[in-house]
Structure 1
Amino acid sequence: VSTTVARIILHPNYDSDTNNNDIALLRLSSPVKFTDYIRPVCLAASGSVFNNGTDCWVTGWGAVKEGESLPLPETLQEVEVPVLGNRQCNCLNGVGTVTDNMICAGVLAGGKDSCQGDSGGPMVSKQGSVWVQSGVVSFGFGCARPNLPGVYSRVSRYQSWINSFIRSDRPGFVQFTSSGPDADSSYTCPGLPPLLITTTSGAGTCTDGPEATTTEPVSETTMCGITPLNTRIVGGEDAPPGSWPWQVSLQRFGGHVCGGSLINREWVMSAAHCFFSTSTSGWQVSLGRQNLQGTNPNEVSTTVARIILHPNYDRDTNNNDIALLRLSSPVKFTDYIRPVCLAASGSVFNNGTDCWVTGWGAVKEGVVSSPCPQGDSGGPMVSKQGSVWVQSGVVSFGFGCARPNLPGVYSRVSRYQSWINSFIRSDRPGFVQFTSSGPDADSSYTCPGLPPLLITTTSGAGTCTDGPEATTTEPVSETTSPSSTMTSAECKNPEHNNILNLSINESIINIYNEK
Structure 2
Amino acid sequence: TNVSCDIKLDDKVHSFPMYTFRKLTMTIVTLLVLILCTGCQAKVGHFLEEFRELFDQHLDRAAPPRTGPKQTSNNCTCGQINTVKASAERIINGTEVNPKYKYPWLAIIIKERRFICGGSLINHKFVLTAAHCLIDRNPALYEVITGVHYVNDMNDGNLPDLSGEPYAQRSTISHIKFFGTYNNDLLNLGNDVVLLKLITPVMFTKQVSPVCLPKYQDSYTEPERDGIIMGWGRTELAYTSNVPNEAVVQIIGPALCRSQSLYGNLVQDTMICASAPGKDFCQRDSGGPLVVKGATSYIQVGIASWGIFCAREKFPGVFTTVANLVNKIYAMTRGGIYCRNPDVGL
Q: The TM-score by the shorter chain falls in which range?
A: 0.5 to 0.7
**C-alpha RMSD of matched pairs (Å):** 2.6
TM-score, normalised to structure 1, is 0.39
Alignment match, 1:234:
92
> Residue 261 of structure 2 aligns with which residue?
none
Are the equivalent residues in 1 in contact too, given 2:73–2:337 (CA < 8 A)?
no
Measure the CA separation in 2 of the matches of 1:314 and 1:382: 26
Ranked by relative contact order (alpha carbons within 8 Å, sequence separation 6 or more), the top structure is 2
1:404 matched to 2:313: yes
- Corresponding residue for residue 274 of structure 2: none
CA distance in 2, matches of 1:422, 1:330: 18
1:199-221 deviation line (CA, Å, top 9, x unaligned):
xxxxxxxxxxxxxxxxx9xx764
Q: Deviations over 1:229-254 (max 9, x none)?
A: 68983221111211010000000122
1:256 touches 1:292 (CA, 8 Å); kept in 2? Answer: no
Asked if the contact 1:345/1:433 (under 8 Å) is kept, the reply is: no
Measured after TM superposition, the shift of residue 404 of structure 1 is 1.2
Alpha-carbon distance in structure 2 between the residues aligned to 1:244 and 1:345? 23
Provide Cα deviations, 1:420-451, integer angstroms capped at 9, x if missing partner. Answer: 1222124454696979xxxxxxxxxxxxxxxx
Looking at structure 2, the residues matched to 386 and 232 of structure 1 have their Cα atoms a distance apart, in angstroms, of 28
Give, in whole Å, the separation in 1 of the partners of 2:202 and 2:311. 35
Q: Tell me the equivalent position of 1:286.
A: 145
Deviation at 1:370, TM superposition (A): 5.3
- How far 1:228 sits from its partner (Å)? 3.5
Query: In structure 1, what is the equivalent of residue 165 of structure 2?
Result: 296
Higher gyration radius (CA): 1
Aligned counterpart for 1:357 among listed residues 229, 239, 254? 229
Q: Structure 1: how far apart are the matches of 2:227 and 2:104?
A: 16
- Alpha-carbon distance in structure 2 between the residues aligned to 1:226 and 1:399: 32
Q: What's the CA shift for 1:261? A: 0.3
Describe the SS at the equivalent of 2:301.
strand
Partner of 2:293: 384
- 2:126 and 2:336 in contact (8 A); partners too: no
CA drift at 1:268? 0.4
Is the counterpart of residue 418 in structure 1 residue 289 in structure 2? Answer: no
Q: 1:423 to 1:284 in 2, by over 3 A?
A: same
Residue 342 (structure 1) aligns with:
213
Q: Which secondary structure state, in structure 2, belongs to the residue aligned with residue 420 of structure 1?
A: helix
Check conservation: 1:249, 1:258, Cα contact below 8 A: yes
Show the 5 A alignment for 1:414-453: 414-429=323-338
CA deviation vs aligned residue, 1:448-503 (integer Å, no higher than 9, x gap): xxxxxxxxxxxxxxxxxxxxxxxxxxxxxxxxxxxxxxxxxxxxxxxxxxxxxxxx
Does the Cα contact within 8 Å between 1:278 and 1:309 map onto a contact in 2?
A: no
Greater share of residues in helix: 2
How far 1:309 moved relative to its partner? 1.5
1:322 aligns with 2:193: yes
Structure 1 residue identity aligned to 2:108: S
One of 223, 238, 252 as aligned partner of 2:77:
223
Contact kept? 1:263, 1:341, Cα under 8 Å: yes
Partners of 1:242 and 1:409 in 2: how far apart?
25
- In structure 2, what is the Cα distance between the partners aligned to 1:388 and 1:345? 17
What is the one-letter code of the residue matched to 2:232? W
Supply the distance in 2 between the matched residues of 1:384 and 1:220 (Cα, whole angstroms): 22
Amino acid at match of 2:165: N
Per-residue deviation, 1:333:
0.7
Structure 1 unaligned spans of 5+: 1-215, 436-515
**Partner Cα distance (2:182, 2:141) in 1:** 23
The alpha-carbon deviation at position 352 of structure 1 amounts to 2.5
For residues 297 and 399 of structure 1, the distance between their equivalents in structure 2, rounded to whole angstroms, comes to 37
Equivalent AA in structure 2 for residue 335 of structure 1: K
Q: Which letter does structure 2 place at the counterpart of 1:292?
A: V
Distance in 2 (CA, whole Å) between partners of 1:427 and 1:249 is 19
Q: SS of the residue aligned with 2:151? A: coil
Summarize the Cα distance change of 1:433–1:321 in structure 2 as closer, same or farther, 3 Å threshold.
Answer: farther
Superposition map of 1:92-491 within 5 A: 221=74, 222-228=76-82, 233-239=91-97, 240-293=99-152, 294=161, 295-316=164-185, 317-349=188-220, 350-364=222-236, 367-369=238-240, 374-429=283-338
Q: Does the 8 A contact of 2:297 with 2:343 survive in 1?
A: no
| TM-score normalised by the chain length of structure 2 | 0.57
Moved more, 375-384 or 275-284: 275-284
Distance 1:273 1:431, change over 3 A: farther
Aligned to 1:355, what secondary structure does the other structure show? strand
**Amino acid of the structure 2 residue aligned with 1:260:** G
Q: Which residue number in structure 2 is paired with residue 468 of structure 1?
A: none
- 2:77 partner amino acid: M
* Equivalent-residue separation in structure 2 for 1:243 and 1:279 (angstroms): 31
- Write the distance in 1 (CA, Å) between the matches of 2:331 and 2:179: 12
Measure the CA separation in 2 of the matches of 1:406 and 1:351: 21
Looking at structure 2, the residues matched to 430 and 402 of structure 1 have their Cα atoms a distance apart, in angstroms, of 34
Structure 1 residue 313, shift from structure 2 partner: 2.5
User: Structure 1 residues 388, 357: CA separation in 2 closer, same or farther (over 3 Å shift)?
Assistant: same
Q: For 1:259 and 1:434, how far apart are their aligned partners in 2?
A: 25
The amino acid that maps onto 1:297 is: P
Figure out how many residues of one structure are paired with residues of the other and give that number: 216
Q: Does the Cα contact within 8 Å between 1:344 and 1:432 map onto a contact in 2? A: no
